[in-house]
Amino acid sequence: MINSTQVSYFILAAYFDAGALKYLYFMVLIFVYVVITCANLLLIVVICMNRSLHEPMYVFLCSLFVNDLYGSTGLFPFLLVQILSDIHTVSVHCCFLQMFCIYTYACVEFTNLAAMAYDRYIAICFPLQYNTWMTYNKVVILIVVIWLPPLVVVCVTTCLSASLQLCGNIINKVYCGNYSIMNLACSDITVNNIYELTAACLIVGAPVSVILYTYIRILKVCFSGSTQTRQKAVSTCSPHLASLLNFCFGGCFEILQSRFNMDTVPNMLRIFLALYFLTCQPLFNPVIYEYSQLCPKCMSK
């Protein structure tokens, strides 16, 4: 682990002096956090309390909302404190805890969307066998697969980064990121890089492969099926595709922010790009799924 005499805190250099405007930013962000928390909590309660929603698709939706709540909680309280503070520092332990929460959120979001794609694939391509294949035990296994591998992978990533010898403590972001910490290392990071590449293939490559395969099969069924089949596919897959594209869009922003020099980009825009997938996804998911799937299901009952 990091020796506290070497680095005891990190400086978050992406923050800037906003003067009196920091109170406006604080109010906007606390409003966004309250909306995210209330919206996701409400839908979690609705799914848990309504027995007609105890189906695989809604179990995966509930898992998605729990993860969105988890990810935003790993960011917003910290962000709100930093906005009001004049000294933008964070302790080593809090930094790695936040990094663990944010990276776990991102990985779970991907695996959750992959499980939802698989569920839609079974429902559309094999509707008569759906109840036989998507049993209670299988749903439990999928939930474990959604959460356990990301938790293990990110835990190892965090431990590897925490063992690095650091020669600086300035992070040019508004929250702690693994790549930013690795850039501060003055010890060998070969093991970290190899593990990161392997972990990316597992956590990103596997879900992407599942999503691509399932949607190729769904498209084949749509083109060869009836109008009713196509309508069912559109109604059930459109929210999932929108959520997936929004998350990938935000993920690309984060990669650009971390891997490339963004000094020519205005500071406020850089902060927005860095926070996009941690704010817009938890806001976007409840809205799109509530109006496209949850509300029609509840009203039909």
Question: Domain spans of the chain?
Answer: 9-300
> What residues does 166 pair with on adjacent strands?
185
Pairing of strands 170-171, 89-91: unpaired
CA–chain centroid gap for 69, Å, is 10
Strand locations in the chain, DSSP E?
Answer: 9-12, 89-91, 170-171
- In the structure encoding, which two tokens stand for residue 197, read together? 């590449």
Q: How far apart are CA 175 and CA 71, in angstroms?
A: 13
pLDDT tens for the chain, residues 1 to 301 = 444 336 788 988 888 777 778 888 899 999 999 999 999 999 999 999 988 888 899 999 999 999 999 999 999 999 888 888 888 888 899 999 999 999 999 999 999 999 999 999 998 888 888 989 999 999 999 999 999 999 999 999 999 998 888 888 888 888 888 888 888 888 888 899 899 889 888 888 899 999 999 988 888 887 776 777 677 777 778 888 888 888 888 887 777 776 666 666 677 777 777 788 888 899 989 888 876 566 555 545 5
Q: How far apart are CA 288 and CA 281, in angstroms?
A: 10
CATH architecture of 9-300: Up-down Bundle (1.20)
Half-sphere exposure of 178 (CA within 13 A, CB side): 24
- In the structure encoding, which two tokens stand for residue 259, read together? 């891997």
Q: How far apart are CA 220 and CA 208, in angstroms?
A: 18
Q: How far apart are CA 254 and CA 262, in angstroms?
A: 11
pTM equals 0.89
